Structure 1
């Protein structure tokens, strides 16, 4: 007999741990610091892009298949495969996986062992990741049943103690409630969770199938239930960390790094034990995410190359490349990730939203292609501007693009392209149907 509740809890905890990596740990306290007494508005903003948007990604995949590449049946297999590769490189060896190791080193190792060689740590970290990633069928159970409970307990202790005994009052901020919401909304992009969600969805769905939920309706329900459990856990931890950042007593003018802020909060809330607790939380958060992402990258490359590069070899390559980039600092990785994300994120989100809203009623592929192509064109403007190309012209154009000040200038053009293409298709079909034979 299938244990629906137990399976949902295990999958939900696993999904939470997969999402909750380095960026998810160091970003919220810094958001709280910047938003000060408007911290609640900041929680709402981060909730939008850091929790709801990733859940929509999971929902989209489970509605239309069992993995992200299945969306190619609704759009275009080649386009979706190329997009999947870009996503995997972002959430894999170029950005997200190296960031997990860098955060673990800066928060968990460096404060206790000054002078420890980051290269040696990188080798040790990715040796553990490889060992725990080499058997993909066991990953969800390892994460959901063993690693996540320790992660939630360690972070939960910090959050609860901080909520019960704030170290200081929330300082006034120069940001309004709306500006705090927008700031946190933007920071939610840095979690990479919208990109990760469409890949993690396949891992969770595969685990549900392995546990006997082979019927599409059952699979949908158990995945959604797991997603809701993950959302509640993320909201508790994110909200708590933003609150702690707002009540840290540290002024924005002190120019403290994200990592140092987290360490300062942990020491203020829990004394000298705080460093130990936060080190454990960081290690578990980063390790679970690194394992999930490495496994996802291995499976993707194995499938993409049709076994020419096996899962095991792909995992080894992922660990090597990730290890190379992980010797950079967390802030350095976040800095160069902005350029990559500003291009890939809008395209992925445009695909998720159009499929989620219209995938069951509009079956032609061209409107979806038009939407993501338009998102790609608008997103490329941010890349050009970052490298100093056509900056003045792009600034002028952005004044004409609604929501561009929120980095959402792609939204309305993408939907407009979608509707125009869908309308043209409908007109052509009517013309063909009414034309004399």
Structure 2
């Protein structure tokens, strides 16, 4: 195996592990128990928001430069600090990082040690995260060479056994194909991977350069190939976990996500199932926590021009995440859902339009109008989630195409983009890519 191939595998494995954390392991089976035999369409939907869009997020940053600031800054100077801060808080100490420790406790520790409390688990978890993150140059190699291969082996064993010997058959569902698609797509938001992708891209690009790929062509080839490799593994794992949920024999949604995963692993692997899934959970959560904490420290250190040191930011992030993780997985997911319904459409709009039109549309106005349209519609979705809209308001908003499926931002953002392009597309004062 030559050096380039070895580097691509290392970076691809690292990227997979960065994306594949707590939500990515718990969400697919829980989706599966709700969809009956609509497995294929749900896997496609979850793959769109959980795999394809994150891959495009990395591609958007690579095309724009080397980090998120290069992508957002070309549209508007304020977009990078504002949207970047919101994204970092979501994938950082508010939602994603605490969820990794909470999942480790509920699935990896509690079944084997019923008397253990979440506090000490979180303290130990974030002490390890801090120790493995304090030197950011080592993050990619630690994850890619050591932790990810073991995680993949455990998950492949679980999925293969579950596919060849299903626990049960498909259950009845009240959801239509369209509703199953919506469920898969919107629940893909909970992975937070589109938000993470535009931040992780900087870590991956820096690691690629550190391995000697300095030219634009070689750098893009390695990053894109590694991204494709991680996407293939994610699709196999997500699809397998959704299938395991759909054939688990569990009906209703009263079972906690962590309990469902433990039930599936025990049913497939027997008495060793709990141990295997505990190790898989710990690896998945630790690798993601390391990557997210490193990204948090790097981003805010750069944003403050070094006034806040990387080591200080990493330490503060670990402490805050440790405190919030004690609230539990389901509470964190419930808290996150409305927030993500607001942030995700904005991030998706940024990624999609810059990837597909960045080399064609040089004027920044179409991108600004597309983002404004998505932001307005996403704000109405946020109000709806918090029950701040009355029935007549919701009925009126449902006239917006796809609004009832929580995709109401799609058409308005397209109108904003193409309308502004038609009116001002000849101006080339600001490059976007």
Fold-level similarity (TM above 0.5): yes
- Separation (CA, whole Å) in 2 of partners of 1:39 and 1:383: 29
Deviations 1:195-215 (A, max 9, x none): 111111111111111111111
Counterpart check, 1:127 vs 2:131? no
The corresponding residue for 1:389 is 388
Q: Superposed, which structure 2 residues align to 1:12-411 within 5 Å?
A: 12-252=12-252, 255-411=254-410
Would the alpha carbon gap of residues 177 and 377 (structure 1) be closer, same or farther in structure 2, given more than 3 Å must change? closer
- Separation (CA, whole Å) in 1 of partners of 2:418 and 2:37: 42
- Separation (CA, whole Å) in 1 of partners of 2:393 and 2:12: 42
Cα contact 2:170–2:249 (8 A) shared by 1? yes
Cα contact 2:73–2:79 (8 A) shared by 1? no
- Separation (CA, whole Å) in 2 of partners of 1:428 and 1:65: 22
Deviations 1:168-205 (A, max 9, x none): 12223222333322211111111111111111111111
Indicate the SS of the match to 2:37: helix
Unaligned runs of 5+ in 2: 429-433
The Cα of 1:424 is off from its aligned counterpart by: 2.2
**Number of residue pairs matched by the alignment:** 428
Cα contact 1:74–1:363 (8 A) shared by 2? no
Cα contact 2:64–2:70 (8 A) shared by 1? yes
Would the alpha carbon gap of residues 247 and 303 (structure 1) be closer, same or farther in structure 2, given more than 3 Å must change? same
Deviations 1:252-289 (A, max 9, x none): 2x721111110000000011100000000000000000
Would the alpha carbon gap of residues 272 and 219 (structure 1) be closer, same or farther in structure 2, given more than 3 Å must change? same
- Separation (CA, whole Å) in 1 of partners of 2:148 and 2:405: 34
TM-score in terms of structure 2 length = 0.96
Cα contact 1:74–1:359 (8 A) shared by 2? no
Would the alpha carbon gap of residues 280 and 299 (structure 1) be closer, same or farther in structure 2, given more than 3 Å must change? same
Indicate the SS of the match to 2:361: coil
- Separation (CA, whole Å) in 1 of partners of 2:198 and 2:97: 17
- Separation (CA, whole Å) in 2 of partners of 1:346 and 1:360: 22
Cα contact 1:110–1:116 (8 A) shared by 2? yes
Indicate the SS of the match to 1:371: helix
Unaligned runs of 5+ in 1: 430-437
Worse overlay, 66-75 or 205-214: 66-75
TM-score in terms of structure 1 length = 0.95
Q: Whose Rg is larger?
A: 1
- Separation (CA, whole Å) in 2 of partners of 1:68 and 1:428: 25
The corresponding residue for 1:432 is none
Q: CA RMSD in A?
A: 1.6
The Cα of 1:147 is off from its aligned counterpart by: 0.4
- Separation (CA, whole Å) in 2 of partners of 1:190 and 1:4: 34
The Cα of 1:377 is off from its aligned counterpart by: 1.2
The Cα of 1:73 is off from its aligned counterpart by: 4.0
Cα contact 1:99–1:326 (8 A) shared by 2? yes
Cα contact 1:367–1:418 (8 A) shared by 2? yes
Deviations 1:35-78 (A, max 9, x none): 12222222111111111111111111111111111013420122
Cα contact 1:68–1:84 (8 A) shared by 2? yes
- Separation (CA, whole Å) in 2 of partners of 1:48 and 1:194: 10
- Separation (CA, whole Å) in 2 of partners of 1:2 and 1:160: 30
